[in-house]
């Protein structure tokens, strides 16, 4: 039971971060540049790969798809912990994918984001690791 709770807590933190980020992407000014001229410039300049979009549209797309990935992780791992805990906790593949994903988000947060996402995702990773350890202790005869 403790392993399930820790996994759902871990996934819930990631889900919440993703949902907040998605809201910030489309509503409000939290993800707007401090210099309005930068947004105007980004809206007029396309990336080298194509002229079919602008850097500003890419920014919205990257932010929203990043948010959707966080939400998906949160939903899938919560669901697995609650409805299929045996499959989750007995699958080295699923456990490794989850750990690698969270560890990757920790690295990205440290390198490219700021303290709040780093703290949130680090707590999520700690809960995830603790849930795996607790589950393995129960599974070992």
pLDDT digits (tens, 9 = 90+) for 70-105: 999 999 999 999 999 999 999 999 999 999 999 999
Q: What is the pLDDT of residue 20?
A: 96
What pTM value is reported for the model? 0.91
As a whole-number percent, the residues of the chain with pLDDT over 90 amount to: 95
- The residues near 68 (Cβ < 8 Å, ≥ 6 apart) are 18, 22
């Amino acid at each position: 039971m403790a392993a399930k709770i820790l996994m759902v807590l871990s996934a819930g933190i990631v889900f919440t971060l993703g949902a907040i980020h998605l809201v910030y992407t489309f509503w409000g000014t939290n993800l707007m540049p401090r210099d309005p001229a930068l947004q105007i410039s980004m809206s007029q300049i396309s990336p080298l790969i194509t002229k079919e979009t602008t850097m500003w549209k890419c920014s919205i797309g990257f932010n929203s798809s990043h948010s959707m990935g966080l939400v998906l992780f949160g939903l899938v791992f919560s669901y697995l912990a609650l409805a299929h805990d045996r499959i989750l906790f007995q699958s080295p593949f699923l456990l490794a994918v989850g750990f690698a994903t969270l560890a990757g988000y920790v690295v990205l947060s440290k390198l490219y984001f700021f303290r709040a996402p780093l703290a949130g995702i680090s707590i999520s990773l700690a809960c995830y690791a603790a849930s795996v350890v607790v589950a393995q202790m129960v599974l070992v005869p």
